[in-house]
Homo-oligomer: A and B are copies of this chain.
Amino acid sequence: MVSAVPSLIGLDWGSTSLRAWLIGPEGIVLDERKADKGASALSGHGAFLAAFDDVAGAWRTAHADLPVLACGMVGSAHGWLDVPYLRCPAGAAALAAGLRGPDGGPHIVPGVLFDDTSLPPDVMRGEETQVAGALHLHETLRTSSCIVLPGTHSKWAQVCDERIVRFATHMTGELYAVLREHSVLGRLMPEDAPVDPDAFVQGVDAARDHGELGLPHQMFAARSLGVTGKLPHEMLADYLSGLLIGHELRAGLQWRAMAGLGSRPLALVGAPQLCARYQVALHRFGRPADLVLDNTAPAGLFALAREAGLLPLEKR
């Protein structure tokens, strides 16, 4: 625990997990806690209040009157309080103005809705705060950039003038999980296989070079390569991972280029191991990320709290 005066308690309260940070000047993390109390497992004001007290109560007692900011699915219709989505373009000022909070609970950052074309709408809750954090930390991303947040539901966000102007969700992580656990593809994959970078790259390259054959076809190779003995069974899971991430990059990089952002900075934000996978894949596509950032949610919560005027004035 770093010794400094805390400015803020920040929460990233997702569907399945809850992370809390004691945050100091300029968004520095002084202390961290995790709890197995995702929003989807909780129901009713009392349950959320108890989880909130469990994860942040000690900090709130030790540091009276600290502001508390939360982001994520805690602000969804099935969360603690349904905080209305903010429409794109969405920047820090609008996000700060959209904060809502339940009685006795944290201020909750609104999610963001993209819905201004003939395409289906898209939604995010939590990632808008990570984008705000990336912009807070890196000036180079503010004018125009593409920020990629890999995960269960990866988000690709286009930033223009410090605002999210457009974004797209890719269900890559969840697709991998359900195929591995519930489809015929998982049957050949041993549970304890070590990570195989070669197999991963083979999958990425298959998506890059032959993606037009379609993902529903190409994924069958994660079985046929095993059945025919062309790839050891221990390599099949990473082949599938590479194939799925490759399809995400294939579509995402084209989407980014179509928006005229092909030469603008590209940043990866998220868990280091997953970002490393995406960076390897981006290299295979000839377009490595310019920045690879660990979780920027604490920085984002700090930036939004400051924007909302919740921090002591000397911190501004």
Interface residues of A in 158-207 (CB under 8 A from B): 168-172, 174-175, 178-179, 181-185, 206
Q: 0/1 per residue, A109-124, Cβ < 8 Å to B?
A: 0000101000111110
Chain B neighbourhood of A171, CB < 8 A:
183-185, 216-217, 219-220
Is residue A47 within 8 Å, beta carbon to beta carbon, of the partner chain?
A: no
Q: How far is the CA of A105 from the CA of B182 in the complex (A)?
A: 33
Given contacts A210-B119, A212-B251, A228-B123, contact A184 B179 (CB under 8 A): no
Tell me the smallest distance from the CB of A173 to a CB of chain B, in Å: 9
Q: How far is the CA of A227 from the CA of B169 in the complex (A)?
A: 14
How many chain A residues touch B (Cβ–Cβ < 8 Å)? Answer: 49
List the 4 shortest-distance A-B pairs measured between CB atoms, nearest first.
A214-B251, A120-B221, A170-B216, A169-B220
Residue of B183, B219, B251 near A217 (CB, 8 A) is: B251
Residue of B121, B214, B247 near A216 (CB, 8 A) is: B247
Interface residues of A in 213-240 (CB under 8 A from B): 213-221, 224-225, 227-228, 230
- Chain A contact surface mostly: helix
Chain B neighbourhood of A251, CB < 8 A:
212-214, 216-217
- Let me know if A217 and B170 touch, CB within 8 A: yes
Chain B neighbourhood of A217, CB < 8 A:
168-171, 248, 251-252
Is residue A255 within 8 Å, beta carbon to beta carbon, of the partner chain?
A: yes
Given contacts A170-B214, A212-B251, A247-B214, contact A220 B122 (CB under 8 A): yes
Residue of B169, B181, B218, B254 near A182 (CB, 8 A) is: B181
